[in-house]
Amino acid sequence: MPSIPLVAELGAKSDEFQDLLNKSKIPATVAKKSRIIMTPEELFSEQDSRIFVRCRPIIPHDNEAMGNKSIVQKVPDHRDLILMCPKVSLSGDCSIEPSVVSLDGTFCGAEDTTERVYFESCSPLVNFSVDGATTCVLCYGQTGSGKTFTTSGIFRFVTEDLAPYFNTHDIFLTVVEIQASKNVDLLTGNEVQVFEDVSGELKLQGSEPFECSSAEFLHAAFEEAASLRTTKATDRNETSSRSHMITRISIVSKESRWAKPGDFFIVDLAGSENTADSATHDKTRQVETKFINTSLMTLKDCIRSRALAGTSSQHLHIPYRRSPLTLLLRDCFEIAVRRPTKTVMIACVSPLLRDSRHTINTLRYASLLAVTPPAKVIAADPDDPNNFSREQALDFLYDISKKMLTDPEAVLPEGDGRTLVHIPEGEFIRRVMDTHGTIGEKKAKMIYTSLWKRVVDARTKGRKVMTNAKKLGKGPRCAK
């Protein structure tokens, strides 16, 4: 990435830089370095993670003397970004130096609509999610760069593409706001705790997935939740988001109800701010800014570690448990995952010269995600009760009880192995004793202990497989 002048230099020479930018053109030698665009299908056939940049148009609110040129440009039908970077020589001379930033796609100005952004960057993710994968669209960038505008538009198009599936799938919506002091379910108002349970599943305690009966209902619920998000005015944006908003659409097949659902995450990250941006904030706002920047730094650390892990034979720790934000998005960072995952990061940047430092920092960290290798999908362990079908779960209950549970369906009236594992101990023992009069509390506890011994053994085995896959870059039980 190119270096750029200090904020003071940009301010002192802003008129001169702007005049140079307005007169600048992309040199043919630079244009030749930019690569031809690829279809989204082609992009995702090679990698799990892709990075795009969207540069918003110049608007009246910018309150700056501007020409018709942005510092972010592109060659038509090419995917790489051309950064018109301001430079100051040792003698104090100003110049604009074009450089190519390698990306998977660049969207500039008003002509690149949100519809185009969606269809060229992340439209295939809907089908991946319907098939049971975890997919994620992250919008990252400075305050006022258009993240919320972009995520809202993308959600609208995702909703439209999901419309045909409402007859064959149950679709649930969860919208969680991650604030400095707490996490809130915006659909219910409940406080939410984010953690991993004993089987490694991600849990949102306090959150209630909202079942949606139609595409229209899904979109209306999202709009209602988004309207309740915490916002405050900043120097750059009158309605700046002071929290991260994570939207999860869960898609469950009606025909295979016990199959693991597909998840589609849309993440509108809080805007990053530097010290100068927050200098006039009160104490509360400074706490918010510190929280935002700390959680974004954790996100950057996860992205950086994920990129380095793909090029190193050594085990590298990916610190996604440091923040509820990254814990929720853990599948985007892991080298080895339990189901397929696809991630799109849309780096939202400003066209303004004064924001050059923000823009270059956004591009620097976002580009790390673009070079990461595909994650290794670890095949489901057939010995793990979490992965049992309903028939297997019933047979398993019969076997571990030494044939004492003559009616296992009375203990597990519905569901599969995952449902069985998540029955609380007291409830499990009560069901056994109520439905099998010859089995006392001691024997019922022994059956429950046998169940959980198998769960713990499978979890230990799974950790070893995941660790080996991360260290070696491949796993002996990787699904194709």
Q: Is residue 255 part of a domain?
A: yes
Helix (H, G, I), strand (E, B) or coil at 280: coil
Q: Is residue 480 part of a domain?
A: no
For residues 55 and 44, which has the higher predicted lDDT (pLDDT)? 55
CB 456 within 8 A of CB 417: no
Q: Is the pLDDT of residue 477 over 70?
A: no
CB 177 within 8 A of CB 242: no
Binned at pLDDT 50, 70 and 90, residue 43 comes out as: confident
Binned at pLDDT 50, 70 and 90, residue 478 comes out as: very low
d(CA 210, CA 229): 17
Q: Is the pLDDT of residue 388 over 50?
A: yes
Same domain? 334 vs 409: no
Average pLDDT over residues 370-397: 78
For residues 470 and 312, which has the higher predicted lDDT (pLDDT)? 312
Q: Give me the pLDDT at residue 476, please.
A: 35
Average pLDDT over residues 151-170: 96
Same domain? 78 vs 179: yes
Q: Is residue 478 part of a domain?
A: no
Using the 3D structure, point to which of 376, 404, 432 is the last residue of a domain. Answer: 376
Q: Is residue 366 part of a domain?
A: yes
Q: Is the pLDDT of residue 475 over 50?
A: no
Q: Is the pLDDT of residue 247 over 90?
A: yes
Q: Is residue 293 part of a domain?
A: yes
Same domain? 311 vs 416: no
Same domain? 344 vs 436: no
d(CA 100, CA 83): 6
CATH number, domain with residue 194: 3.40.850.10
Same domain? 157 vs 175: yes
Q: For residue 346, what is the enclosing H or E element?
A: strand 341-349
Same domain? 361 vs 427: no
Per-residue pLDDT tens digits for 65-86: 555 678 999 998 899 999 998 8
Residues in the annotated binding site for ATP: 141-148
Mean pLDDT of the chain: 84
Using the 3D structure, point to which of 354, 376, 398 is the last residue of a domain. Answer: 376
Same domain? 355 vs 393: no
Write the DSSP string, 358-390.
HHHHHHHHHHHHHTPPPPEEBPPPTT-GGG--H
Binned at pLDDT 50, 70 and 90, residue 159 comes out as: very high
Same domain? 16 vs 116: yes
Same domain? 36 vs 150: yes
Using the 3D structure, point to which of 376, 404, 423 is the last residue of a domain. Answer: 376
- Which of 3-7, 116-120, 234-238, 410-414 is modeled with the greatest confidence? 116-120
For the four alpha carbons of 137, 323, 195 and 268, in that order, the dihedral sign comes to negative
Range of the domain at 306: 7-376
Q: Is the pLDDT of residue 356 over 90?
A: no
Same domain? 115 vs 230: yes
The position carrying tokens 């790489």 is 80
Q: Is residue 477 part of a domain?
A: no
d(CA 50, CA 332): 11
Number of domains forming the structure of the chain: 2
Binned at pLDDT 50, 70 and 90, residue 383 comes out as: confident
Which of 71-85, 261-275, 465-479 is predicted least confidently? 465-479
Q: Whole-prediction pTM value?
A: 0.78
Residues in the annotated binding site: 141-148
Q: Is the pLDDT of residue 21 over 60?
A: yes
Q: Is residue 479 part of a domain?
A: no
Same domain? 114 vs 136: yes
Among the listed residues 369, 358, 365, the one whose alpha carbon sits nearest the alpha carbon of residue 136: 369
Q: Is the pLDDT of residue 17 over 70?
A: yes
Same domain? 205 vs 245: yes
Binned at pLDDT 50, 70 and 90, residue 194 comes out as: very high
Per-residue pLDDT tens digits for 411-458: 999 888 888 888 889 999 999 999 998 999 999 999 999 998 998 888
Q: Give me the pLDDT at residue 474, please.
A: 44
